[in-house]
A and B are shown apart, each in its own frame.
Chain A
Amino acid sequence: GDSVTQMEGPVTLSEEAFLTINCTYTATGYPSLFWYVQYPGEGLQLLLKATKADDKGSNKGFEATYRKETTSFHLEKGSVQVSDSAVYFCALSRGYQKVTFGIGTKLQVIP
C-alpha cells in the first residue's frame, strides 16, 4: 500500500537557519504530493503542493520539488522564523479520497 516517510523530530533550529525536512513516499502511479502545516491547537492547512513530476510547489518562502526518480518531496526554507514553529505533514493522494499522511515533523525555531 501507499506510505509516506518523514522524521518525527523535533527539529530545533535557530532563527534564520536553513530548513530541510525530508519526505519520501511509496505509491503506485502518479500521486499528487502535499505539505500541510499544523500550528498549536489548530487544524492542518495546506502549505504547498505538486501534482506531477518535476513540479515545484512554493509558498511563504517554503519550497518542495516532486522528484519521481527518488520518490521524494523534501521541504526547504532558506531562513526560518520563530513563527514557523509548527508540525509539518507530508501527504500523497491518488484520488478517491485515498490520502496518506506522514507522521508529522515538529519544528521548533528558537530566537
Chain B
Amino acid sequence: NAGVTQTPKFQVLKTGQSMTLQCAQDMNHEYMSWYRQDPGMGLRLIHYSVGAGITDQGEVPNGYNVSRSTTEDFPLRLLSAAPSQTSVYFCASSYRDGDEQYFGPGTRLTVT
C-alpha cells in the first residue's frame, strides 16, 4: 500500500497562474479532505468529499475547486493563484466518518 500520495512536493507559481495539486489513495477510503497548514494556525479544512461525486466546502474554500470522479483521486485546483495561498497543503483520507485520518506527505506551494 502506498497510502496517500501527493504531487508535486514543491511548486512555485506566479500570481494569477492556475495549477492542480494531485492526491490519490489506495486504501478504498470514502472520505477525503484537503487542508492547508500555516504557521500559528494549525490545519484548516479547504474542501472535503464523502464519496465519489460528492464534495463540500470547508473552513477556507475561496480560490480553490475540487472534484471527485473516482474513489481514489481528489485533486485540488487553484484557479488564479494569490500570495495568500502560499502554504503547505495536505490531503487526507479516512475509512469512516469522524475516524482517524491518513495524511499525504504534503505539497509546499509558494506564490510570488
Interface of A toward B, CB cutoff 8 Å = 4, 8, 32, 34, 36, 41-46, 49, 89, 93-97, 99, 101-104
Q: 11 additional contacts, CB 8 Å, given A42-B105, A95-B98, A101-B43?
A: A8-B40, A32-B99, A41-B105, A43-B90, A43-B92, A46-B101, A95-B97, A99-B33, A99-B101, A101-B42, A103-B40
Contact of B42 among A46, A89, A93, A97 (CB under 8 A): A89
- The residues of B with any CB-CB pair to A shorter than 8 Å are 4, 31, 33, 40-45, 48, 50, 56, 58, 90, 92, 97-106
> Using Cβ atoms and an 8 Å threshold, which residues of chain A touch B105?
41-43
A41 CA to B88 CA in the complex, in Å? 10
Q: Which residues from B are CB-within-8-Å of A99?
A: 33, 45, 101
Question: Least Cβ distance of A103 to chain B in Å?
Answer: 4
Note all chain A residues with C-beta closer than 8 A to B43.
44, 89, 101
A residues near B102, Cβ cutoff 8 Å: 45-46
Q: Are A104 and B42 in contact (CB under 8 A)?
A: yes
Rounded to whole angstroms, the CA-CA distance of A101 and B44 in the bound complex is 8
Q: Are B98 and A32 in contact (CB under 8 A)?
A: yes
Known contacts A89-B43, A103-B40: A97-B100 contact under CB 8 Å: no
From A41, A44, A95, contact of B103 by CB (8 A):
A44
Whether the Cβ atoms of A103 and B42 lie closer than 8 Å is: yes
